Amino acid sequence: MKLTFLGTGAGLPSKTRNVSAIALDLLQEQGSIWLFDCGEATQHQILRTNIKPRKIEKIFITHLHGDHIYGLPGLLSSRSFQAGLTPVTLYGPKGIQAFIEISLQISQTNLTYPIEFVELEEEMTLDFNSFTVQVKQLDHGIHSFGFIINEKDQLGELRVEKLRGIGIEPGPIYQQIKQNPHTTLPNGQQIQRADFIGPNKPGRKLSILGDTRYLENLDRFIENSDLLVHEATFKGSDEELAYQYFHSTSVQAANLAKRAKVKQLVLTHISARYQGKELETIVNEARTIFQNTVIASDFSEIAISKD
């Protein structure tokens, strides 16, 4: 479970930051990659990574501002020429389906795979086998959403010594015991999995928020996240500007992270007005409130773990 930041700038691309896109690598867990937002030139950014577009099977759009969606038609089209045959599900606010269908129709683009559209609603929960995704309405002038990716708890480890204690030595039978609530042994004895397995392993929790003003009540929503990705379009002293343009500051993001008791905060969606030492100011002012803070750059990679 790893994040790759494909674009970390706000509003328009700069020489050092492209516009918003984040890839979540779930190849080990789900066999696919999930994309969060797809700003202009996202497919160009992907060319500089090991990401294969055909592996992108779910795309979550936080909101319909251009710096978050203008890369979609190109990426979806190119995927057809890169062995993309599996379906893609696109989750976004009302209007995302019309945007894509009109773009493909006018450009006479025929995809080699089907697209399913899911219109996001406040407080909805999506279920994907070993993961759920909670959707939360934010405050950005237009419909903007945050996503909480919750990995379901995993089965604990088999208690090998306890199994050996009743004469069951390691072998294929161990996998059978772990996969089934009860198992019949070759001698006819039936055992219950619950008697020979340790506590469940807690799943990981990842919070990715779209563009938003500072919202205090988000702390309950993102509480105890292993990683929080939060916009920091403005530095702390520009709080009035942030409110005016429906954005947040690095200080506000840090305060939210502290109250929500998250493990790590990643700042992104950085305005191009800040360069050089001002970027250090943005991250340092956040660290005075929440120490475990980093500022994302294009192509930053961050693993999500429980450690």
Residues near 180 by Cβ (< 8 Å), separated by ≥ 6?
193
- CA nearest 115: which of 164, 162, 77? 77
Question: Are residues 100 and 90 in contact, defined by beta-carbon separation less than 8 angstroms?
Answer: yes
Question: Are residues 140 and 218 in contact, defined by beta-carbon separation less than 8 angstroms?
Answer: no
Question: Which residues carry out catalysis?
Answer: 67
**Helical pair 250-260 and 277-287, crossing angle rounded to 10 deg:** 30
- CA nearest 265: which of 237, 297, 226? 226
From residue 233, give the alpha-carbon distance in Å to each of 236, 267, 300: 10, 9, 18
Give the max Cα distance, the chain: 74
Q: What's at 189, amino acid-wise?
A: Q
Question: Are residues 305 and 4 in contact, defined by beta-carbon separation less than 8 angstroms?
Answer: no
3-state secondary structure 169-183: CCCHHHHHHHHCCEE
- CA nearest 87: which of 59, 112, 113? 113
